[in-house]
Amino acid sequence: PNSPYSAVIPLFVTALLEGRTPKIYGDGSQSRDFVYVGNVVQANLLAATVPGVSGNVYNVASGERVGVGEMLKQICDLLDVRFAPDFVEPRIGDILHSWADISATTRDLGYHPEVSFKDGLRETVYAYRDVLEEQKVSCR
């Protein structure tokens, strides 16, 4: 979460837990197809066990778009902090909307994300919170 190239979820969670204001580049309406790590594991296990798919390439995602602003609001709700991001100019070259086509993954592997975005976000936020709490304790 300390890298400028980190994914947005750890950046938001870390900022909020450290009492900093998270930045949203643009107006927050841009959307992404976030995927929970457990769903990626699920897809990889399917790819390793389904006959006849070796060597194929598949998109692994949730199959749903979530707005960045809405995602931050959900994180704020989970952490019981006020939603008050710093909206800054969009970054040059950022894609406005990203949504993965998982139809081949579903068709060939039988992949259907087992963990919803909302549940995966909750698990992820609480995991980051716990890790950051442990780091604070170990630094004392």
Chunk the chain into consecutive blocks of 10 residues (it has 140) and report each block's average pLDDT, rounded to whole numbers: 72 93 95 94 97 96 94 97 96 91 98 96 94 76
pTM for this one? 0.88
pLDDT for the residue 12: 95
Q: Does residue 121 lie in a domain region? A: yes
For residues 12 and 99, the answer to whether their CB atoms sit within 8 Å is no
At residue 35, the pLDDT reads 94
**Range(s) of the domain holding residue 52:** 8-132
Task: Kindly report the CATH number assigned to the domain that includes residue 109.
Answer: 3.90.25.10
The verdict on residue 2 lying in a domain is no
CA torsion 92→97→101→106, rounded to 10°? 120
Question: Does a structural domain hold residue 71?
Answer: yes
Q: What is the pLDDT of residue 5?
A: 55
